[in-house]
Amino acid sequence: MDFSLPEGGIVRGVGTDLIECSRIARVLERQKDRFLKRVYTEQEQAYCMKMKNPVPHLAARFAAKEAVSKCFTTGIGKSLGWRSIEVIKGDREEPYIRLDEKGRKLLEKLGASDVLVSLAHTEFYGTAFAVLVESR
C-alpha cells in the first residue's frame, strides 16, 4: 500500500498523542484481558503480547488511536470507538491504520481518503502522529 501524501493532496486533519508506558502497565496489571479486549483488536493484541515487553508496543498503539481520534476531532466515544482504529503492519513493517465501518464513514464524511500514522516508543513513553489526507 502506498500511504505517502499524494501530489496535490490536502491535509484534512492532524493529531498526536504521548502516553507514559507506566499508565498502560498499571491498567494492564489491574484489568488485563478486559483492558486488552476493550481497546485493542485481536491482531493488535497478538502482535504486542508476543514481544518481550509488550507495554511500549501497547502504549504506541494506544497513542495512535488517540492521535487518529484527534484527526477526526471526535475523540474516542460514540462516533469512534477504540477498536474502530486498528494499527496494522504493512509489507515493509510500516504501521498503517485500518478503520472499521464507523471509521470509514467518518473518513468519507470529512472528505479524506487515507490516514497516515507514525509511531515511536521507548521504555517510558509511546507516541504517535496521525494525518488525514484527501487524494486529489
Query: Is residue 4 in a domain?
Result: no
Query: Is residue 116 in a domain?
Result: yes
Question: What are the tens digits of pLDDT across the range 36-80?
Answer: 999 999 999 999 999 999 999 999 999 999 999 999 999 999 889
For range 94-106, the mean pLDDT: 94
Domains held by the chain: number: 1
Q: Which helix (H) or strand (E) holds 11?
A: strand 10-20
CATH number at residue 107: 3.90.470.20
Query: Is residue 53 in a domain?
Result: yes
For range 83-107, the mean pLDDT: 93
Please, which pLDDT band fits residue 6 given cuts at 50, 70 and 90? low
Query: Is residue 1 in a domain?
Result: no
Rounded to the nearest integer, the mean pLDDT of the chain is 92
Report d(CA 27, CA 32) in Å as an integer.
7
Q: Which domain holds residue 83?
A: 10-134
Query: Is residue 3 in a domain?
Result: no
Give me the active site residues, please. Answer: 70, 121
Please, which pLDDT band fits residue 2 given cuts at 50, 70 and 90? low
For range 73-92, the mean pLDDT: 93
Report d(CA 121, CA 104) in Å as an integer.
27
Q: What is the SS3 assignment for 76? A: coil
Q: Which three cell numbers stand for residue 60?
A: 504506541
Please, which pLDDT band fits residue 136 given cuts at 50, 70 and 90? low
For range 79-108, the mean pLDDT: 93
